Chain A
Amino acid sequence: MTTVIADPEPEAPRKPLRTKVVESNNQLFRASPLNYLVLVLTFFLSVFPLYWMLVMASRTNDEIVQIPPKLIPGSHLGEHVGALFDNPDVMFAKALLNSFIVAGSITLFVVIFSALAGFAFAKLRFRGSNVLIGLVVLTMMVPVQLGAVPLYMMMDWFGIQGTLPTVILPYLASGFGVFLMRQYASQAVPDELIEAARVDGATTIRIFWSVVLPALRPAAAILGLFTFMTYWNDFLWPYVALSPEHPTVQVALSRLSSGYYTDQSLVMAGTFMATLPLLVVIVLFGRQLISGIMDGAVKA
C-alpha cells in the first residue's frame, strides 16, 4: 500500500485505476461512525460487570435487592471490606497472602525454567532437540486437570496434602512458557554474542545468566505477567486440593458465596478485593499485555 501512495507521479491522468485503489484501501481502514458505536458498546459491555461489582460492593444488602436497582455506587464499600477482613471464617487476609505466595512462586520458577529450556532449544544444538521440542508442544495439548485424582493421591504420598505446595508444584512446567522463550531467544540473542562469551571461557550456565537472561527480559516480563494472572485466577485444583485452613483468594470467594446465609455485599466486596490487583496490573501493563497476546498469536 505504501508504494502505491508514495508514488506522486506527474502523469496522473494516465492512472485513474491506481487512484481508485488508494481510495478503496483508505476506505477499508477508516473507521465509520458505526464502527465507533460497536467499539464504544463493546467497551461498555467489557467494563460494566466490573462497575456493577463496585456498585453492589458499596451497597447494603437491603439496597442490593431493591427494584428498580440502584445504578450508582453507594457509600458502604469501606465498611464491607472491613467486615470481610474481620470475618474469621473467611480468612481473607490470609487468602490474599496465600494467592500472592502461590502465584508469585509459580511465576518465578516458570520464568526461570522456561528461559533455561527456551535458550537451550533456540541456541544450543543437541541430539534429540527436535523430538523434545515436539514433546513440549504436545504437553500444551494435555488437559492437565484430568489428572486431579492421581495428583490428589500423590500429594498424600508426599505428605503435603492440603498445603500451598500442592497447588504450586503441578504448575512449574509450562510448555507454553518454553515455547514462548524459544521463539523469543532465537531472534533476540545473537549467536556471535554466545560465541564471544565461549571464547572468553564462559561456561554455558554462565552465558545463560550474564548474556542470555538479560536479553530475554522483555519476553520474561510478558510470560511472568500472564503466569501470575493465570494462577492468581486458578480455581479448580486449589478448590479440590487445599484444606480449609489454607485458602487462596478464589477459594475464599467460593466459600464466601456458598454458605447457608449468603451476605451478598460481603461477596461483592470480596470479588472487588480479589479483582483489584489484576486491575492494577492492566492499568500499569495494559499495552504490554495487548502486544503479548498479539505477538503470541502470530508466532504460535
Chain B
Amino acid sequence: MVNFLQHTFNGLVGGAFLALLALGLAVIFGMLRVVNFAHGAIYMLGAFGAYVLLTEVGLSFWWALIVMPLMLALFGMALERLVVARLARLDPLYNFLLTFGLTLILQDAVKSRYGVQSSPYDAPEVLSGTLDLGAFDFPAYRVFVLVMAVAVCVGVWWLLSRTRVGMVVRAATERPELSTALGIDVGRWVTPVFGFGIGLAGLAGVLAAPIRAVNPLMGADLIIVVFAVVVIGGLGSIFGSVAAGFAIGLVQAWVQALGEHWALLSQVLVFLVMAGVLLWRPAGLFGREEAPA
C-alpha cells in the first residue's frame, strides 16, 4: 500500500511536467493552429537557463523560476512576430517544419557550448529535505513541483473560464472569423498567447532542473511523449491535455512499479494508449470534431 502511494505520488510529479508542457502546446495550438515542435527545446532552455543563471550570474533557483519563464515568453513573442506570423497563412506544415528546425538549432547551440553531458543542478536548500505526509516521507522538492503545477493549471483554467480575457481567447480560438466580425481583434491576442504557452514550457524546464538530467537533449526525449499526451487529451482541448498529462504520468509510474522488465513497456505504453484512443475517439478524449471548413 505504502509502495503504491509512493508510485502514485511519483506518477503525479512526472505527470505534472507532461501537463504543464501539454497545456502550453494546447493553448498555442488552439489560438494559432501551430503545432509547436520547439516546445521541448524551450523546456530544455528553461532548465539550462536556470543552470546558467546559477553558475554564471549567481542567481538562485527562485530567481530563475521568475526570470526564465518571462525571458522565454518574450523570446516566444518575438519569434511569433518575426517568423511564425509570416507562415501563418500557409499550410500548418510550414510552421511545424519551422519549429522543428528551430529545435535543432537551439539544441545544437546549447550542445556546442555546454556539451552533451548532464549538468548538475541542486534543489534549493529549503526544499532539499523530505516532508512527512503521514504514510511516508516525500521529497519536499517534488511536493513543491506538484503543488506548483497544479496551481498553474488551476490558474490558467480560472483565467480562461472566469475572466473577460479568457472569454475573448476562447471565442477567438473556437471561431476566429466570427469573432473578428463581432469586433474582436483576434490578431492582437495571437502574440501574447504564443508567448504565454512558451513561458509555461520555460517554467516546466526550470522546475525540472533539480530532478531531471539537465542536458541539451532533455526536451527532445520528452516532447514526443507530450505530443502523444496532447493527442490523447484532444488537440486544442485545455482540460483534456492537463488531465491526460497527469493520467499518463500515473499510468507510466504504475507500470514501472510492476518490475524492471516492465520499464520498457512504460515507455511504449503512452503510444499504445494514443493508438487506442484514436481508434475509439479520433478527436481525442476531450477534443471536439473540427467542423468541415
Real binding pair: no
